[in-house]
Structure 1
Amino acid sequence: MPQITVDYSHPVEDAFDVDGFTRSLHEAVVEIAAAKPEACKTLIRHDCLSAYGYDDRADEGHALVTVSIGLLPGRTDEVKARLTEATLELLGKFIAPQDGVTLHAAAEVRELDASYRKFDR
Structure 2
Amino acid sequence: MPHITVDYSESLTEAFDRRGFALALHPLAAKIISTTPGACKTYFRRMEEIVVAGGEPEHAVIRIEAAILSGRTPETKTELSEAVMDLVRQYLAATPQLSVQTSVNVLDLDRTWYRSDTVDRTEGTV
Cα distance, 1:19 vs structure 2 = 1.0
Structure 1: state its 5+ residue gaps.
none
Q: Is 1:76–2:73 an aligned residue pair?
A: yes
Partner SS, residue 107 of structure 2: strand
Partner SS, residue 14 of structure 1: coil
Q: 4+ runs of 1 displaced by more than 3 Å?
A: none
Asked if 1 retains the 8 angstrom alpha-carbon contact of 2:27 and 2:36, the reply is no
CA distances 1:36-90 after superposition (whole Å, capped 9, x unpaired) = 11110111111111110222xxx43011011111111121111110110010111
Pick the structure with greater CA Rg: 2
Out of 99, 115, 118, the residue aligned to residue 113 of structure 2 is: 115
Out of 88, 95, 100, the residue aligned to residue 97 of structure 2 is: 100
Q: 1:60 & 1:10 partners in 2: Cα distance?
A: 11
Aligned residues: 118
Matches within 5 A, 1:1-121: 1-55=1-55, 59-113=56-110, 114-121=112-119
Q: 1:92 & 1:112 partners in 2: Cα distance?
A: 26
Cα distance, 1:118 vs structure 2 = 2.5
Partner SS, residue 101 of structure 2: strand
C-alpha root-mean-square deviation of aligned residues, in Å? 1.2
Query: TM-score of the superposition, structure 2-length normalised?
Result: 0.88
Q: 1:60 & 1:120 partners in 2: Cα distance?
A: 42
